[in-house]
Structure 1
Amino acid sequence: MDNVLHMNGGMGETSYAKNSLLQWKGIATTLPITKEAIAELMCNSSFPIGRLAIANLGCASGPNSLFLVSEVIKAAHKLSRELGHKSTDQFQIFLNDLPGNDFNNIFSSIQGFKEKIMEEMGSCTDSEPILMFITGVPGSFYDRLFQSDSLHFIHSSYSVHWSSQVPRGLEENKGNIYMAKTSPQCVLEAYYKQFRTDFSSFLNHRAQELVTGGRMVLTFFGRRSAEPCAKECCYIWELMSMALNQMALEGLIDQDKLDSFNLPLFTPSAMEVEAEIQKQGSFAIKHLELWDMSWNAYEGEVDLPKALRDGGYNVSRCMKALFEPIITHKFNLPREVMNEVFKRYGLLLSDWMANERAILVSLTVSLTKRG
């Protein structure tokens, strides 16, 4: 997956940069939890006055990559002044994603980012200029990425639900591209086993990279139900599966390739996440919650263009930015056929959303590394 899994790059109409409002809203919603973690970190007597090392794991590209970083910098600088400390004015920022990520998109925006944050902070930085050292770190967060005891704060938003690989043992999942009501028990067990392996690896590596007392805030797709293939977490993928199966029946997609196609992700419950954290043992859970928002990022907005009033169209565009590279790699489809996949997917979504609100269940957990 290291070479396949990435969002649509660039700044075009189908890019992640232009279709990641949903993820931005997720980051914005969880900002109070992030700021609370930063405050508790800086109140720790062992906190290194004046500097902060931050890692954004699964940063993708576009405006979201640096939005969270800017909020952390502003909060840390402001809090250090309020606490009467030497102002936190040196920030080492690590932006991590897989090698196929469009890092150039991020790098080209860094100068503007620095200028904007200095403007927003205004007089707070007149006598103490802020130094920001920004580094791209290509690689899987299921491996070691940083030196031991080198990070103070780690953040990851809508990334840790991705698996390191498609689980083994999914041969009987034909007709589905993820867990579904028709999936046999062995498929559900294979997905859960992969999640446990990956999340345990993730926690082990982060425990080595964070300083004692360091903080970590993670947000990913989740579910409330104990049932792994509950509608709340799986219907969005089942509709995509329906679109692909329709096109396979018409000969537009290779049936054998579709039968072997499964998405590399897992939507855990709070209990499953908590169990792995406790089993690994390096972190104390400070906050864990499930929360909901609409899959339609434009829900409730007014004065929208006609196209954006269609919730199915909005969700389909978001999902195309996420999944087009994976589908392209698997099926090697011409552009017009790929467009047809997401057109049909959008229509199925619109039909669904005419009767039910499309809810994305998110799970956010805030952790402290134990001493």
Structure 2
Amino acid sequence: MNFPKALIMADLGCSSGPNTLLVASELVKAIDNIRLKLGVDESPGIHICLNDLPQNDFNTIFTLVSKFQNNLTSQMTPHSSSACYIYGVPGSFYTRLFLSKSIHFVYSSYSLMWLSKEKTLTKQVPEMAHINKGNIYMSATSPPSVIKAYYEQFQMDFLTFLKCRAEEVVSGGRMVLTILGRRSDNPCSKECCYVWELLANSLKDMVGEGLIEEEKLDSFNIPQYTPSPKEVSNIVEKEGKFAINCLEVSEVNWDASTDRNIRLPEEVAQEYNMGKCMRAVAEPLVLSHFGESVVEEVFERYKNNINISMSREKPKLINVTVSMTRKG
């Protein structure tokens, strides 16, 4: 049986925290189960490469490695002895990160919807403050030039990502990507723009009250694009080095990860989780653009807008997941 003696896997956009090593744990256990089913005696050495931007808190991840390895040992089947090695790889995944033809499996979750450079987007739409006035993202009132600029930036970024990985992944290697996306062909669909509209409303109220300058609002653009399955498929086919095995769309309730130790009514729990989640995502962007002095007020208003909205609607996260194989 030609079972590999070593496997190298990469988690791109790993972030930091208690869940960072969860995917690594599941991958190691899955590989060990396959080994046992095939009747292979020797476990492969497994290298897990954790990637994120240089400012990511890699130190926190490394303090969790010992606990991760102990938990993994206790969960593995008897007589399993997979050696698992953890590495930190700082850098943008829109650049090369690994040696040519060295990676067997690539995984990324909730990272690829972020555009590589917000300023590049702004340059693609001349005088965007006047063209997309009053918006912080794509919306029903955005002109076609703004929608086009967002999509072109995503297409360029995703193509760059695929080209880099095509150089690094071995022939027959696999890649699984989960991207925050949408079902609709309309990039301004409520299913992907809704949460940013609520933030925009909070900021516009503060502009009306003189707490934020209007020019500051008009120059603020969320560097994110949530693609449709068709857009993902078209870009993968355009790049040409990967074959799509599976392309799926799924829904996740906003309250799916609410802390079960917090005993709140269901509707309140969902509001709490959505507000907490969006603050974690948006606060660095708001802080860097508007300054620290308005952050608390912005997110207090944002939370209130979320509460009001969610009393009427039950928004869901739309995930686009694609599994692909590196062609020979």
What TM-score comes out, normalization by structure 1 length?
0.82
**Equivalent in 350, 355, 359 of residue 307 of structure 2:** 350
- Work out the CA distance in 2 between the residues paired with 1:157 and 1:124: 32
- Where does residue 147 of structure 2 map in the other structure? 188
Corresponding position of 2:192 = 233
Q: What residue is the counterpart of 1:77 in the other structure?
A: 32
Q: What's 2:99 paired with?
A: 147
> Residue 251 and residue 232 in structure 1: after superposition, are their counterparts in 2 closer, same or farther (change >3 A)?
same
Preserved CA contact (<8 Å) 2:48 2:85: yes
Name 2:161's counterpart in structure 1: 202
**Paired amino acid for 1:82:** K
Q: What residue is the counterpart of 1:67 in the other structure?
A: 22
Distance 1:192 1:303, change over 3 A: closer
User: Does residue 318 of structure 2 align to residue 361 of structure 1?
Assistant: yes
The match for 2:55 among 100, 113, 129 is 100
The alignment partner of 1:188 has SS state of: helix
Shift of 1:350: 1.4
> In 2, distance between residues paired with 1:89 and 1:174?
56
Task: Mark the CA change 1:298 to 1:309 in structure 2 (over 3 Å): closer, same or farther.
Answer: farther
Q: For the structure 1 residues 77 and 293, does the alpha-carbon distance in structure 2 shift closer, same or farther, using more than 3 Å as the test? A: same
1:158: which partner in 2? 110
RMSD: 2.0
CA distance 1:225–1:363, change in 2 (3 Å): same
Contact 2:267 2:311 in 1 (8 A): no
Whole-angstrom CA distance in 1 between matches of 2:49 and 2:102: 11
Give the superposition deviation at 1:341: 1.4
Percent identity over paired residues: 45
Are the equivalent residues in 2 in contact too, given 1:49–1:85 (CA < 8 A)? no
Listed one character per residue, the Cα deviations across residues 29-61 of structure 1 (whole Å, up to 9, x for unaligned) are xxxxxxxxxxxxxxxx8x762221110000001
Query: 1:135: which partner in 2?
Result: 87
TM-score (norm 2): 0.93
Give the whole-Å Cα distance in 1 for the aligned partners of 2:296 and 2:3. Answer: 51
Partners of 2:261 and 2:97 lie apart in 1 by 43
Correspondence 1:1-371 to 2 at 5 A? 49-121=4-76, 123-125=78-80, 129-166=81-118, 167=121, 168-169=124-125, 170-171=128-129, 172-297=131-256, 304-305=263-264, 309-334=268-293, 337-371=294-328
CA-CA distance at 1:104 after TM superposition: 1.4
- Whichever residue aligns with residue 47 of structure 2, its letter is Q
What is the total number of aligned residue pairs between the two structures? 321
1:237, distance to aligned residue in structure 2 (A): 0.8
Unaligned residue ranges in structure 1 (runs of 5+): 1-44
Farther off after superposition, 315-324 or 283-292: 315-324
Letter in 2 for 1:313: Y
Q: Per-residue deviation at 1:311?
A: 2.2
Counterparts of 2:215 and 2:111 in 1: how far apart (Å)? 29
Q: Secondary structure at the match of 1:313?
A: helix
